[in-house]
Structure formats: structure tokens, C-alpha cells
Amino acid sequence: MKKIGIIFLIGIMVLGMVACNKKSGTDSENTSVSISEPIQPLVYYAPLTGEEVEHEITQRAVAVMINNQKKARPQSGISQADMVYELLSEADITRWLAIFQSELPEKIGPIRSARDYYIKIAAGYNAFYICHGQSPAAEDLMQSGAIDALNGINYDGKYFHRDQTRVAPHNSYTSASDISDAAEALDIRMIDQVRANIYEENGFSGDTEAKDATYVKLKYSSNDDYNVVYTYDETKKGYIRSQGGVQTTDRENDEMITVQNVFIVKTEHNIIDNYGRRSIDLQSGGQGYLLQNGKMLEVTWMNDSGRLVPTKNGEVIPYIPGKTWINVVEDKESAVNFTTPN
């Protein structure tokens, strides 16, 4: 019995020594080194271009009515627009709805009057809407509170300024600082989490139904000064825009307008009054074309909460990162021509 007691005591001592070793961490086999993973920098993208930017952009979108009559060209600030919608107003002349979010230029214009269908598009981006004048239908929408708006009719000489080198109505301009001052004075919130467009680096490049398309002409008028041509430039990786045989440039920096996505929407147009004002169907969906990287894909356009988007088989087709112009044309065969002239 005495021998068994000694053995039991020795066992307890050994167990105690092992336990002490584990607590003190002296056992090299049980020692571990914690290695932290390197912190990856956050990557931010402009929501309406899909391009990488240095920091998160929380600027509310600003949608500006831009005059596109011949006497208004070249326009100012247009090279900094993330997106531009081009639609007919009256007399077979288009106006542009230029949407600025990643950048806001110091000079923008010339600015023209509102139409109801431009307002509805701008509302799809929760944009601060800038115009100078309005149609009756547009006035009703703005007075209803459908959109936050700044109208040059009410603020000419304050937030809108006349360019003395041009004549009215082609000489009304505003700026980033004017818009900021107006928003502050009118208590309009300019911070927003803008809903991003859908982008992929290669867009629809894997779609076997895509066709070569390095040229397209859009017929808006019998007067060629108001018809639009996009020509793909491989070196610039984009489509160069021209109108009436003249390349579209920005008056402020002479930058040639080059866009990565051209989205063509065909839809019904109707004249609704003696002034030639139109109703344009932006709800029903229909035939469209999306051009990227010198290729064209036939798509179906749809209205996504105010935004016009390209789809195929019910799925949204992604844009590629960069600028986007959306051209709304009449639902006529002659409105779109992909045949390169000899």
C-alpha cells in the first residue's frame, strides 16, 4: 500500500508540472504567432459612370436642360456630364438633359426651358433639375413638387447669368457655385446616395448576337444640322459625336465629346398642340440598340423607375464604365442607320 501511495503522489506531481508548462507557454510546440491580414484599401466608383474614383461621391445628381439649337453650339460643361439624354422638343430640334454627379462644371449652358418628359427622366435620378422657362405641362409638374427645381425665369441675374457674346435665348448659363448657392438658399438637400447604373468591365462582349457597329446616324430632322452621327474611335475607346457634320465639343475646354455607351431608344412621338410640343412614350418599352466598343446589340428598352435601361430576355444589359448618351428617336425605320457612307 505504501508503494502504491508513492506512485500516486509522483503521478500528481507530474500532472501538475505539465499543467504549469501549458499555462506559462514554455512548451514550444504549443506556441503560435498571430499574423494579421493586410488591410485592403476601399475602392469607390462613380455611380453613373462606373469609373473608379478616389473617394465616395455623395453629391446629389444635377440634371440641366441644355439648348441644342445651332446658335447655341458649342455648349459649355457638357464634357463633364456623366450621362446625357437627347430628345426632340419642338420643330425637329433636340434638347439635352445633361446629368452631372461625379463632376459639376463651373460653366453650364446655354440653358433652355423644361418639358414634362425631361422632368420625369430627371426624377428617376432624384436630380436637382435646372431649367430656364417651361411648358404648361412642365410647370404643373414642378409646382406639384414632383421634383426639386431651379428655374431661370425666377432667378435670372442671380443664379443664371447672360453671356454677352451670345443672344437670347441662347445665352443663359449657370455654374457649380450658383447651383450650390441656390440649393443652400432654397434649403434643397444636395447629399444623396445615388442609385448606381449597372456596369461590367466588358459589357455585353460575350453575347454572340452582337454585331459590328463603328458608325450610326440618327435622323431627327430633314435639316441635317440636327441629325446625329456617332463614329467609333479605337484609339479613344469610344464613340465620337458629331452633328450637322461638325464634331461636338465643349466650349470651355475644346474637348471632343467621346462616349463609351450609346443607347438608342425607339418610341412613339405625337404632336399635341399648335406650338409643336410633343408627347413621347417613355413607359411602354420597345426596340433599342446599345453600342459599346465598336459593337451593337439589339435590346429592348424599359423604364426602370424613371430611368431608361437596355434589357434582353428580361435582364438589364450592363454598360461599360465611362460616359453614356441616350438618344430617344421616333419609332421609324429611317430614324436609325448603321450603314457607313462611302
Dump pLDDT digits (tens) for 156-180.
Answer: 999 999 999 999 999 999 999 999 9
pLDDT at res. 35: 66
Domain boundaries, the chain: 52-337
The CATH number corresponding to 52-337 among 3.50.90.10, 3.90.1150.10, 3.30.70.660, 3.40.190.10 equals 3.50.90.10
Dump pLDDT digits (tens) for 225-263.
Answer: 999 999 999 999 999 999 999 999 999 999 999 999 999
**Mean pLDDT over each residue of the chain, to the nearest integer:** 91
pLDDT at res. 14: 37
pLDDT at res. 34: 60
pLDDT beyond 80 at 33:
no
Determine whether 133 is exposed, middle or buried from the number of CB atoms within 10 Å of its CB (0-12, 13-18, 19+): middle
Q: Which residues contact residue 92 at a Cβ distance below 8 angstroms, ignoring those fewer than 6 apart?
A: 220, 221, 222, 223, 226
Average pLDDT value for residue range 310-328: 98
**In Å, how far from its chain's centre is CA 76?**
18
For CA atoms 293, 73, 89, 229, the dihedral sign is negative
Alpha-carbon dihedral 20, 21, 24, 25, rounded to 10 degrees:
-150
Dump pLDDT digits (tens) for 261-293.
Answer: 999 999 999 999 999 999 999 999 999 999 999
Dump pLDDT digits (tens) for 120-164.
Answer: 999 999 999 999 999 999 999 999 999 999 999 999 999 999 999
pLDDT beyond 60 at 32:
no
pLDDT at res. 10: 37
pLDDT at res. 8: 39
Q: Which residues contact residue 142 at a Cβ distance below 8 angstroms, ignoring those fewer than 6 apart?
A: 114, 119, 129, 134, 149, 151
The owner of cell 413607359 is 283
How far apart are the C-alpha atoms of 285 and 310, rounded to whole Å?
A: 10
How far apart are the C-alpha atoms of 229 and 241, rounded to whole Å?
A: 6
pLDDT at res. 39: 79
